Each structure stands twice: as C-alpha cells, then as structure tokens.
Amino acid sequence: MKGEVSDSANTKEPKKQLGESGRPGIKTVDDDKSISLHVASKTLMDMARRRGLHASQFEAEQAWQQVTATNSRDRLVAAWKSLYKGHAVATSTVGLLSPSQLPAWIIVENSMGVVLKLAEGDKPIQIQWFGAEPSKLPVNPEVMIPVAPMADSSAESFLKEEPVGQASEAIRVGLKAHAPLLMRVALVSIFINVIAVVSSLFVMQVYDRVVPNFAYATLWFLAVGMLVMYVFDVLFKLVRHKMMDAVSKRLDEALSLFIFERLLGLKLDRRSSRQGSLVAQVRDYESVKQFFTSSTLFALVDLPFVFMFIGVIYLIAGPVALVPLAFTVLSALIGFMAYKPLARIQQENNDAVVRRQGMLFEVVSSGEVVKSQGGEAKFGDAWLNATRETCDRGEELNYVSTLVQIITSFFQQASYVFLIIVGVYVIEAGGLTVGGLIACSILGGRTLASISGISGLLVRWHHANYSLKILNQLLSAPSDIHSNREANTYSMPLHLDLKEVKYAYTGSYLPQFSAESLHIAAGSKVAVLGRNGCGKSTLLKLLAGVATPNQGEVRIAGLNYENCRLSWLREVIGYLPQDPRLISGTLLDNLTLGISMPSEEEIVAALEKTGLIEAVQRHPMGLQLPIAEGGAGMSGGQRQAVGLTRLVLQKPKIWLLDEPAASLDSVLEQKVIDIINELPADTTVIFTTHKQSWVNLATRGFIIHNGEIVKELLPELAPQPKNVEKPAIAPSVVNVGNVQ
C-alpha cells in the first residue's frame, strides 16, 4: 500500500523565520524533534477544513506548541482537543476503518497524513501527506479519527438547575481534579495525628507505670519507640507539606488562567466600562486564592481529627471530653455570629477599595488631561476621601476580625482550665489517673488550638466567598466564549448583512445604531459618512464583531456572527479602530499579534507599503523597537500605521477602517490609498471618513444620521477590474455627510 496523493511536493518548508536570524527576543518556534511545527500545524488545519471546522495557522501552531505528550500521536490528539473543546479522537487501524469515518490521521515515521480514501480493489489507499512521504507504509497502521461532540442532551432537561457561578464551578472542578492528591494528604494526616495521640499515651504510661516503680527498661523501650515515631512524624509532615503546596500551586495556576481567559472572553461592550474597577474586582481573586493556600487547607485537613482527639479523651477520661466538645460548639457559634456584621463591613470595604482603585487607574491613564487642565487638586481631594473611607472600613473590618479571635482565644484558655477542673473531679471519682489527666491536657490543648481556628476559618471563608461572588458576577457578563461557535466557510463569498439590528451601549436607553436591513456584497468598497457621533464607528464595531447587537443579527456569508468560530472571524475580518492602541513589547510583537509569524521579507514589504519602514530604519533597535503600555513611544500617526501594517500582514478578506487617515500625513495617506487600490477585487473595504479623497475610493457610500442610514449615495456596484475607472461619488452629494 502506498499513499497515492502526496502533498509533500506542495508543502513548502516555511520561509526563514525571524527567530532564525538570531535577533534577540524572537523565539524559534519549532521545538518538536520528530515532527516539525509546520507539518503538525498543516495536518491540524487540513483536518479542520475537511471536517467543516476552522483553525488559523496561528491557532494550530499554538495548540501544537502548548500541549505536551510523550509521542506525536498523543500530542496531535491533545492539540486537536485543545482546539475544539468537547471533541474527542478515537483510534483504530486502517483495516478496521469504514469510509464513513474518514478523514482520519495517520502518522508514519516523521510524517503526518490524512487518510482520504481507503483501498478499493486495485485502487490504493489515498493519503494526503504533510512532510516527506514515508518510503513504506506499515501493515495495518494505526489511525486517529476525530469525533465531534453529540448535541447537548441537557437542553432537554426539564429540571432547571440553579446556575452555578463560573468561578465557583472552576474551583469545584479544580478541587475534584485534585481529589486523589487530597486523599493522600488526608491519609498522611491520619498518621501524623495518630502519632500525636500516641505521644500523649506515652506520657500517661510514664506517669502511671514507670514513675511509681522506676521501671527504667520500660521507660527506655517506650522512649526509643517514641523517638522513632517522631522521625516518621517529621517525614510525614514534610511529605504533607510538599503535597499541599503542589495542590495549592496547581489550583492557583489553573484558576488564574481560567479567570484570565474568561475575562478576555467577555464581550468588550458588555463588561464593566469602568476599567479601574474591573481590574480591582479581578484582584479579588487574590483573596479567593489565599483561602485555598496551604495554611487553610492544613487547617481544614486537621479539623476532622479534632473529633478523633475528643474520642480518645473520652476513652481515657469519660466526661472530660465534654469540655472540648462544648468549646467546639461555642467556637462555631462565635464564627457564625460574626458572619453578618462581617458581611456588611466586608461589602462596604470592598466597594471603597474598588472605587479608590478605579480613581487611581483613571488618574494614571489620563495623566496628560489631569495635568494640563490642572485637575490635580480636585483628584487629590477625592483621593484623600477615598483613602479615608478605605482606612475606616479596613479598621472596622480588622477590629471585628480581631475581636472574634480574642474572644475565641479567651474561651480556649477557659476551656483548658475547665478541662483540668473536670479532670480532678473525675480522678477523685476514680475514673482517671494522674497520668491520664496529663495525657488529656496534652490532647486537649491540641484539640482546643485546632478548634479555635474554626472561627478564623469562617472569617476567612467569608472574605473568600464574598470575592467569589464578585468574580461570579463579573464572569456572568455575556461572553464570546460559548458552544455553537464552529461555523465558518472557505468558499462562500463573504457578503455582510445586518438584519433588524438595534444596538445600544451599556447604560443607554436609546439605540446608538439601528438598521432594518443592510447588505454589503463581497468586494464592495464602502464609504460610511456622517457627522460626529452619528454612529459610524458603532457600525464598524458591529461588523468587526467587537460589539454585539442587542437585537437582530449580523451575518457574514449568511452565518450569524454569534455562531462563527472566533479565530475564523478574526482571520477574515481586519479591523482598524479609530485610535488603535498598542500592547507593551516590541514593534514586532505588535505587528504579528495573533497571526502566524511572517517571514522577515514579508514584514519589510508590509512596512514599505505603509511607510513605517523609515521609522524602523531610523531606530537603532529596528523591529525590536520597544513599545510601552498603550503604545507610548509611538506617535498617533505611527500607531495608525502599525495597525495598517498588521492588516497588510494579516491579509483579511474584509477590511474595516475607522477613519484610517485621521492621523496620517498626505504621503502616508496616499500610501494607504494605494494599498486599498491594490487589494484583490473580492476584498471588501468599509471605511468611515470625512475626506473627499477617500470618498473617491468607494463604489458605494451611505450617510448615517442619529444612528440610522438615511441616505444611500450610489447603488451597489460590482467590483470593477483595476483598469476600469470607478464612478466616484460626487462631492456635492456627500456634503450632507460632512465631507471636506
């Protein structure tokens, strides 16, 4: 059997990567020794395409690089599962494969392939190879078959379950995943606590048996036994410590990543618009995390053993056990009584901290405005008030927490005294020896110390629980991450449609944009005109998928945006906002954010097209030019040019440009116009503008007024061949759109 179809000839080795040029700061991506990153990503993308799914090259590369496995087969399976949540991969052999299961993966030597057709009569098996075609196929080789998830049967459930917050659910799942390790911790804890019981029994034996008779042989025998036990105690405690640390570290990593991803997944226009407050709320995660650190877990793990100690005290001294039992109930009561006042103060304190944080964020991010307009004094006063408020609330919170601890500690000491008193009466009644009382006092001291932690634990739990509620609330905002998001197309023309769309920003009662029906054919060059604040940017945001309509649908090639795979949408739609922000890092990071690393030649060509090459050549660090948070280090025009260069590298099918030339000089502006003129005929370009030179680029235009399309300027024109002159929109007509 030999692969008939081979793409090894077509599968070009990737062009020289920037990382290979030895420049600092660019990592070389190919880290797999047997299967190259290029082959793996192509294999993943090809399978996705054949199964009606989508994976961009960047996504496929990331999936392959982020998963680890001992062999290529497991790595491929893990990468597929990380790309498509809920999907599974079954394994079989070519001999057992049925045509309905195709396409399936095959891995032979260092090549990956996709089985397209099984052998039939004289016709050999058809395999699309990525990488070099193997010289020989083994007999009946193993294949991997991707399996899509079944339709969600829970949708038919009649019993509506109370929705659990996402953060709470993540913690539950995290703890469940670590249950085996926690069980081992509990097992080791049993040994540690048994040693504590044995050590108290040792003291009892010494007082009751050794001292009255001076039985030195027994004393040494018991002492050696105890010392051996203590050595084990040290070992057990070390092991337990390591295990607990591992659990809390892994939980922390998993949870913080989960929360970070969910946060990024929130719909931009539906999450809290107060960014400082948002950051402060996310920081609340710290207190949730602190609750699950080892100290709390230690306290929780040791708590059940309190009852074991009380049981042992009961066996030794009968009624004496009632004292620690009563103290247990009392401690729990104190904890619960403090719960309500703490809840109130906690909430007030939290609100004050969030407000203060929000203010700090605003002052830092709008430093220029505050300074240039002399707003320091106003913000200074507000800051002082906010600081006082947080101090007052913090003080109150501290006072109540400390009060709870002091009261508990008083009852703990009193309980110890009571334990001794009751013990003496039990000795008199003949139910206890002196040695027994000493043993009980040792065990009792330990029990009382553990129990006194209950109220502290309840206070800490309360704090964590409150933060958890905030996180749950934050993450309950509409998200871009949900199931049913696999729709995509490779072949259909990417027409855009708005159907009965109404869009209002959060907190606004009236829609800022509405359209009964709007159809933009693939390949159109559309100018969106209108006065300031009429809704042009809002329309572009809706088309870019960064804003989601409150009502109606935005469609691409007939597919509702809400059902489209996000990576596919991001790949086919390129969006340049009015004031593009850059991320901290290097210029190269910004140019290649979210796209597969292009070759150096491609980057340079793109920079030449947008005119940014001069800035890069002038800078001693070239493409490694450092960019600070938000894009500091680049002028407004340069930032716009960076955004445009990124689009040139991305090569989207739909370009959405929000006033692309707003900050560009005439030379750069002409370059951008040239870029648009050179785009393939089937590329759609939609731009907002106030400039006549840009309007001339359009084959269609409309004017927006008060969030509605009020005037269509030209009927839809079919994309024109490049050498045919485009009918321009007459200046007189567009004046109503405030065009200069």
Ligand X SMILES: Nc1ncnc2c1ncn2[C@@H]1O[C@H](COP(=O)(O)OP(=O)(O)OP(=O)(O)O)[C@@H](O)[C@H]1O
How far is 360 from 380, CA to CA, in rounded Å?
Answer: 10
Q: Which is closer to ligand X, CB of 523 or CB of 737?
A: 737
**Six-digit token string for 643:** 């955004």
Residues 209, 192: Cα–Cα separation, whole Å = 25
> Using CB under 6 A, which of the segments 86-94, 275-283, 449-457, 529-537 binds ligand X?
529-537
Report the amino acid identity of residue 656: L
Residue 36, interface with ligand X (CB under 6 A)?
no
- Cα torsion through 367, 372, 377, 383, rounded to 10: -10
Q: Which stretch binds ligand X (CB under 6 A): 301-309, 454-462, 536-544, 552-560?
A: 536-544
> Among residues 532, 666, 723, 732, which is the contact residue for ligand X, using CB under 6 A?
532
Choose one: 106-114, 164-172, 186-194, 504-512; the region binding ligand X (CB under 6 A): 504-512
Residue 530 interacts with ligand X (CB under 6 A)? Answer: yes
Using the rule CB under 6 A, which residue among 271, 289, 356, 536 binds ligand X?
Answer: 536
Considering the complex, what minimum distance in angstroms separates the CB of residue 708 from ligand X? Answer: 11
Count of residues for the chain?
A: 740
- Based on the shown chain and the rule CB under 6 A, indicate whether residue 103 belongs to the binding site for ligand X: no
> Least separation, in Å, of the C-beta of 533 and ligand X?
4
- Number of residues interacting with ligand X: please give it, by CB under 6 A: 12
User: Minimum Å distance from CB 594 to ligand X?
Assistant: 23
d(CA 304, CA 290): 21
Tell me the C-alpha distance between 171 and 727, whole Å: 61
Nearer to ligand X (CB atom), residue 402 or residue 506: 506
Shortest spacing between CB 689 and ligand X, in angstroms: 9
User: By CB under 6 A, is residue 331 in contact with ligand X?
Assistant: no
Structure tokens at 547: 């804003």
Task: Rule CB under 6 A: say whether 535 interacts with ligand X.
Answer: yes
* Choices 311-319, 395-403, 486-494, 530-538 (CB under 6 A): range interacting with ligand X: 530-538
505 contributes a contact to ligand X by CB under 6 A = yes
Residue type, 127: I
> Of 683 and 688, which CB lies nearer to ligand X in the complex structure?
688
Contact of 547 with 573, CB cutoff 8 Å: no
- Binding ligand X (rule: CB under 6 A), the pick from 537, 567, 592, 610 is 537
Close Cβ partners of 334 (under 8 Å, ≥ 6 residues apart):
404, 407, 408, 411, 455
Hey, how many other C-beta atoms are within 10 angstroms of the C-beta on 30?
17
Cβ closest to ligand X, residue 70 vs residue 532: 532
Interface with ligand X, residue 533, by CB under 6 A? yes
Q: Which of 292, 266, 58 is nearest to 172 (CA)?
A: 292
Distance CA 51, CA 487 (A): 11
Which range in 42-50, 319-327, 465-473, 533-541 contacts ligand X by CB under 6 A?
533-541
Give dist(CA 385, CA 364) in Å, integer: 18
Confirm if 317 and 432 have CB atoms less than 8 A apart: yes
689 binds ligand X (CB under 6 A): no
Smallest separation (angstroms) from ligand X to the CB of 657: 12
> Residue 694 is encoded by which pair of tokens?
């840009």
Asked if residue 538 binds ligand X (CB under 6 A), the reply is: yes
Residue placing its CB nearer to ligand X in the complex, 298 or 505? 505
Shortest distance, CB of residue 358 to ligand X, whole angstroms?
16
Tell me: does residue 534 bind ligand X (CB under 6 A). Answer: yes
- For residue 369, with 0-12 CB atoms within 10 Å meaning exposed, 13-18 middle and 19 or more buried, which class applies? exposed
Taking the C-alpha atoms of residue 656 and residue 143, their distance in angstroms, rounded to an integer, is 43
Residue 620: C-alpha distances to residues 20, 614, 616 (Å): 20, 12, 8
CB burial readout 544-555, b (16+ within 10 A) else e: bbbbbbbebebb
CB of 639 to ligand X, least distance (A): 16
Residue 537 vs 683, nearer CB to ligand X: 537
Q: Which residue lies nearer to ligand X by CB, 133 or 269? A: 269
Which tokens go with 455? 């109220």
Q: Which of 483, 508, 551, 740 binds ligand X (CB under 6 A)?
A: 508
Q: b vs e for 617-636, b when ≥16 Cβ sit within 10 Å of the residue's Cβ?
A: eeeeeebbbebeeebebbee
Question: Judged by CB, which is closer to ligand X: 37, or 529?
Answer: 529
Give the residue with the Cβ less far from ligand X, 110 or 365.
Answer: 365
The three-state secondary structure class of 711 is: strand
Tell me the closest approach of the beta carbon of residue 575 to ligand X, in angstroms: 13
3-state secondary structure of 306: helix
Side-chain half-sphere exposure of 268, counting CA atoms within 13 A: 7
Q: Closest separation between CB of residue 541 and ligand X, Å?
A: 7
Site for ligand X in 438-467 (CB under 6 A): none
For ligand X, which is the closer residue by CB, 467 or 538?
538
Residues 558-587 that bind ligand X (CB under 6 A): 578
Smaller CB distance to ligand X: residue 408 or 512?
512
Rounded CA Rg of the chain: 35
Q: Which is nearer to ligand X, 101 or 578 (CB)?
A: 578
Q: Is 342 helix (H, G, I), strand (E, B) or coil?
A: helix
Stretch that binds ligand X, among 26-34, 433-441, 526-534, 605-613 (CB under 6 A): 526-534
State which residue, 271 or 460, has the beta carbon closest to ligand X.
271
Name the residues that contact ligand X, by CB under 6 A: 505, 508, 512, 530, 532-538, 578
